[in-house]
Structure 1
Amino acid sequence: MTTDYLIAQIHKKKSFLCIGLDVDLNKIPKHLLETDDPIFAFNKAIIDATHHLCVAYKPNTAFYEAYGLKGWQALEKTIHYLNTNHPEIYTIADAKRGDIGNTSTMYAKAFFEDLGFDSVTVAPYMGKDSVEPFLAFENKHTILLALTSNAGAFDFQTKSVDGVELYKQVLETSKSWKNSENLMYVVGATKAEYLADIRQIIPDSFLLVPGVGAQGGNLQEVCKYGMNDSVGLLINSSRGIIYASQQKDFAQAAANKAAELQQQMQAVLSK
């Protein structure tokens, strides 16, 4: 999917909401455990109830890999369902991959060609030759971890080297990589105060912003400092939406939570 198409969907739906599909069998409604594929049954119900309110879905692959082959098959079925029934939806494989060149190429082929995702999250620590294989795929995006929302982000990402924080060096250096126009960046919602500086370095790039909702990120603050002329934001909420209820009304409860965020986003866009 091209960036222009994503922007058009944001304005059409009046939403820049991304819903994280992080499926934990200990948290989904008990009646789904009786189905042949509880993970896919849960995802399908969430998608059916919320697809009109969001522009993206983000399965975190760890929540599928943890269940072995059945989990991976559920991920395949989920992305196939989205690509077949809702091709306008932007899909993100939250895999946080990153390895030497040949391995990165294989990771990229797995997510972009075999599974058919639009984007994948990638760790930048190994540098250019670990990221450029992902960037080589046309109309696919690589979402680079820049400044994350976890407490440990302060261990390295905000440390200064020669007076410049590491995350800023990552942002600046990544702009020189081949096909860097295919880059997006992860910036945690709990780091909203950093967004103004980040926009000085990458004013035009899309930012994937997790942490709104259960992790305490503030939507208004993120928009104030992070939005650009093309919106440039995908705000992710996972647990706050998909686990709004553990009863049989779980899908409608998720839709209600998603609608709350979508309405807030519509109000921001109307300004």
Structure 2
Amino acid sequence: MTTNRIVKEIKKKKSFLCIGLDVDLNKIPQHLLKEEDPIFAFNKAIIDATHHLCVAYKPNTAFYEAYGIKGWRALEKTINYLNDKYPEIYTIADAKRGDIGNTSTMYAKAFFEDLGFDSVTVAPYMGKDSVEPFLAFKDKHTILLALTSNQGAFDFQTNPEISGVDGLELYKKVLETSKSWQNSENLMYVVGATKAEFLADIRKIIPASFLLVPGVGAQGGNLQDVCKYGMNSSVGLLINSSRGIIYASQDEDFAQAAAAKAEELQVQMAAVLTKKS
């Protein structure tokens, strides 16, 4: 999917919401455990109830890999359902892959060609030859981990003690360096919502790129701050919320409860977009 199509959907739905499909069988409504495929049954219900309120879905692959082949089949059924019934929705495989050469090519084939995702998250630590194989795929995006929302991000990403002679923190080096990689126009970046105060500096380095911003909701990120510092002329944001939406209820009304939570964010986003225009 091209960036232009994403922007078109954002304008149409007045939303830049991404919903994380991180399915834990210990947290889903217990009546679904009677289903043949409870993971897919849960995802399908959430998707059908919320698709008009969001522009993207992001399954974290760990939540599927943990259940072995059954989990992987549920992931495959989920992405096939999205691509068949809601092809306008942008899909993100939150896999955080990254390895050298042919290995990265195979990871890319797995998510882009076999499963049919629009994008995949990738770790940048091994450098350009671990990322460029992902970038070679036409109309697919590689979402690079830049500044994450976890506490451990301060160990390396923003630690001034490991800055180079130029004084740039590691996350800024990642942003600057990645712009020189082949097909870098296919890059997006992960920036945690709990790091909203860093967004002004980030936008000086990558003013036009889309940012995937997790951490709004259960992790404490603030939507208004993210928009204030991170929004660009084409919006340039995909704000992710996972637990705060999909686990809004453990009763039989779980899908409706999820839709209500998603709508709360969508209404706030619509207000931001109206004010921006």
Is this a same-fold pair by TM over 0.5?
A: yes
Which residue, 250, 262, 265 being the options, matches 1:261?
Answer: 265
Moved more, 192-201 or 157-166: 157-166
Deviation at 1:225, TM superposition (A): 0.1
Residue type of the alignment partner of 1:48: D
Q: Aligned partners of 1:127 and 1:30: how far apart in 2?
A: 44
Partner of 1:223: 227
Deviation at 1:157, TM superposition (A): 0.4
Residue type of the alignment partner of 2:65: E
Q: Aligned partners of 2:8 and 2:78: how far apart in 1?
A: 24
Q: Deviations over 1:121-152 (max 9, x none)?
A: 00000000000000000000000000000000
Deviation at 1:229, TM superposition (A): 0.1
Q: Aligned partners of 2:28 and 2:6: how far apart in 1?
A: 30
Partner of 1:116: 116
Q: Deviations over 1:157-184 (max 9, x none)?
A: 0122221100000000000000000000
Residue type of the alignment partner of 1:85: K
Normalising by structure 2, what TM-score?
0.98
Partner of 1:180: 184
Matched, 1:33 2:33: yes
Say which SS state the counterpart of residue 204 (structure 1) adopts. Answer: coil
Partner of 1:161: 164
RMSD: 0.3
Partner of 1:90: 90
Q: Aligned partners of 2:157 and 2:178: how far apart in 1?
A: 15
Normalising by structure 1, what TM-score?
1.00
List alignment gaps of at least 5 residues for structure 1.
none
Say which SS state the counterpart of residue 270 (structure 1) adopts. Answer: helix
Q: Aligned partners of 2:241 and 2:228: how far apart in 1?
A: 18
Question: After superposition, where does 1:239-250 map in structure 2 within 5 Å?
Answer: 239-250=243-254
Percent identity between the aligned chains? 86
Question: After superposition, where does 1:70-219 map in structure 2 within 5 Å?
Answer: 70-159=70-159, 160-162=163-165, 163-219=167-223
Deviation at 1:72, TM superposition (A): 0.1
